[in-house]
Amino acid sequence: MILNNIYNINIAEDITLPINQINDIEGVTTVEYNSKEKNISISIDSKHEDDAAEILQEVVAIVRQSGGKVLTENITRPVLNMTCAACASSSQNILSYVPGVVAASVNYGNGKGAIEYIPGIVSPQEMKSSLQEIGYDLLVDEEESSYENVEHIKEENYKKLRRNTIWAIILAIPLILIGMVFMNMPYANEAMLLLSTPILFIFGRRFFVGAWKQAKNRSANMDTLVALSTGIAYLFSLFNMIYPQFWESRGLEAHVYFEAAGVIIAFILLGKMMEARATGHTSDAIKMLMGLQPSSVVVFREGEPVEIPIADVIIGDIVLVKPGEKIAVDGEVVEGNSFVDESMISGEPIHVEKSLGAKVFAGTINQKGSFSFKAVKVGKDTLLAQIIKTVDEAQGSKAPVQGLVDKIAGIFVPVVIGIALLSFAIWLIFGGDTGFIYGLMAMVTVLVIACPCALGLATPTAIMVAIGKGASEGILIKDAESLELAKEIDVVVLDKTGTITEGKPQVTNITWSANALPIHKDILYSIEHRSEHPLADAITAYLKDESNLLDGVSVEQVSGKGIEGTYENATYYIGNESYMKSKDISIPIDIQKQIDLELEAAHTISIMADGQEAFGVVGITDKMKPTSKEAIAKLQSMGIEVAIYTGDNEKVAAALAKEVGVTNYRGGVLPEIKADLVKELQKQGKKVAMVGDGINDSGALAQADVSIAMGAGSDIAMDVAKMTIISSDLNKIPKAIHLSKATVRTIRQNLFWAFIYNVIGIPIAAGLLYPFTGFMLNPMIAGAAMALSSISVVTNSLRLKTKRI
């Protein structure tokens, strides 16, 4: 709540706040910290009220540096009425200057703004008002910012743009004929005035309205360039038509340029229309994913099948799926069996068999059979909804190179206006009798040809298409940075279980010592039944028909080592050899022999012991995925080193490494050691990708330059990772790297052409070639070139959709 110039910032927990450091910020008069309420009250001098946003952002940075967590909210909302990259830069700056906004990032490519703000100081509605003052808009309500509503607004805007473009072209055709062919016919100037006026001020009105709003806020964008260039040409022509004697008395001809002003607007409208249509295709992946969900579904209510809207499905509903139908929500099969096409989510073309207990996912398509399933996740919680959300957020993220482009776009328009004025002045001074005319045309042409749009679209369009392409291949990419970094990978570190292997361990046998008691089997079963360890399911499945579930058993997970269980005041330990050694547990000769046999067979072992002695050993095997060896060979053929770091024992690691042709491997690696090993590789100057699927991989995933999670793995691993392979097929990793290389190559091509277009086009427009060749670029040609520059960049990005990776 703001009281005059006092701002309150809430934090999550009490910290040692460097009040003196905050007091030293220019403009801050007093700082009060209430540790009990976890509230910082900042008073800002009224003279520095315009700097309040910057001051508060500095305070937030100090709090975070001190280990504090400021209570902020993050929203991503559509920003409307942007026409070029300079608009994104302008709207981003406006949002950043609103007191209470901690950070703002606006992406011209997908038309969205990501904003972090302090709720007690500013509201989304206030941000919306700030943007509206300069001619933009922010959709803040959940309903109005929904994908469907935004697409509806875009479609309506496109229809309006198309209508204006068609009418502008209809009027521009006779206008250019009169201006270029029939210029000497009677009333030619009056006819061109009548034709060009509606083109500029009715169908091209958006440029002048936008430029005026920018000017009121001492800002500039593409609208400014278009309005200035066409407005100057129009007013100059109007003056020459009304007062031709002004020039004729000086021995000069009173030229009019109505056709240039009108045709420039028509060309730019046509370019904008084509750009809007092409840019719309960059989000085809989202549209495709949204279209996977059916609008209605058949559920059983009171034993009868009833068709209901998908929004009315609740967890626990029994859903009926007939042949050829799309599955509406995530769930588990309770009756029947069939094959399901999951290619739209996993990227795998082979249909997956579904029977009792199998998981099914929203958006996938049932084939020939019928079955019923229980709804487990609905609405925003389904895998499909999460994929859509991730793709949408990733398409709005910015690649590191975009920072430089944004800075250039921010100063582009003022610099171009400066060059246009300079070219006019040079022509005026050195151009002789025709210096004014040529100078004016040079100024108009410079303003027309300069294009910040191509620069602004170069990176985000490529990122949007690439992330959509990845999603269609079953590669879920969370942000642009990881997509850009993937091409630089030197080493791929693989976990074993669930990454190289299927992650479906099976017990080969359980061996008990002579000292083991019959109840030990029940205790093992009961402890494993309550455990979340990856091997627990395999052991319980093996024992369930021959063991009893005991009451009063408590279990504690020991990460990377094993399980500690308690029953009737006795403690039992289940885990690997190193865990037994850490507990000073002795291993009898007969158990040790069995351990050695299991290890020789490259099996994983799990030993059971009480506080003194081991009395049982479980042998477990986990089949390698059929594609793992092929994927590792592909990575190695690309010059990428592959390493295997597993918590499994050294002999298992060695046998697996030998089978897949890997020389860099480590067994018995604890989670924290795995992260250290990744760090060690990074110290050698290598870019490291970590691939894992479990909770124990999360530390190494966080440490790696590029983190990749297996889709069948834990939620924690997927939360930490920047990429997720939905099908858990390692063959997708080479594809992700190829996609990264193709994307970065496309971005570089786009930026090269966007820069080279402006670097070459602007000097030519200013008349650089005239002294040598007598060539002056026609403003109408400049308008066409400007329109085509943006279209070429978007079209080049769209080529990624058909790229084989």
Q: Which residues are catalytic?
A: 495
For 312, residues 6+ apart whose C-beta sits below 8 A from its C-beta are: none
Tell me the sheet residues that pair with 298. 307, 320
Distance (Å, rounded) from C-alpha 103 to C-alpha 465?
A: 26
Place of tokens 């709090």: 63
- Under 8 Å between Cβ of 51 and 417: no
Alpha helices (runs of H) in 300-398, residue ranges in sequence order: 343-346, 383-396
Place of tokens 């100024």: 443
For 184, residues 6+ apart whose C-beta sits below 8 A from its C-beta are: none
Estimate the crossing angle of helix 732-766 against helix 435-449, to 10 degrees. Answer: 170
- The DSSP bridge pattern shows strands 688-692 and 706-710 to be parallel
Distance (Å, rounded) from C-alpha 262 to C-alpha 174?
A: 11
Question: Which phi and psi angles does 306 have, rounded to 5°?
Answer: -135, 135
**What is the edge-to-edge ordering of all strands in the sheet holding 6-10?**
6-10, 39-44, 28-34
- The DSSP bridge pattern shows strands 352-354 and 359-360 to be unpaired
For 47, residues 6+ apart whose C-beta sits below 8 A from its C-beta are: 27
Distance (Å, rounded) from C-alpha 321 to C-alpha 403?
A: 48
Long-range contacts of 663-671 (CB under 8 A, 24+ apart): 668/576, 668/578, 669/560, 669/645, 670/559, 670/560, 670/561, 671/559, 671/560, 671/647, 671/696, 671/697, 671/698, 671/699, 671/700
Q: Is 314 helix (H, G, I), strand (E, B) or coil?
A: coil
What does the angle CA 26 – CA 30 – CA 35 come to, to the nearest 5 degrees? Answer: 125
Which candidate, 411, 409, 419, places its Cα nearest to that of 444? 419
Q: How many CB atoms lie within 10 A of CB 321?
A: 27
**What is the edge-to-edge ordering of all strands in the sheet holding 318-321?**
304-309, 296-301, 318-321, 371-377, 330-336, 359-360
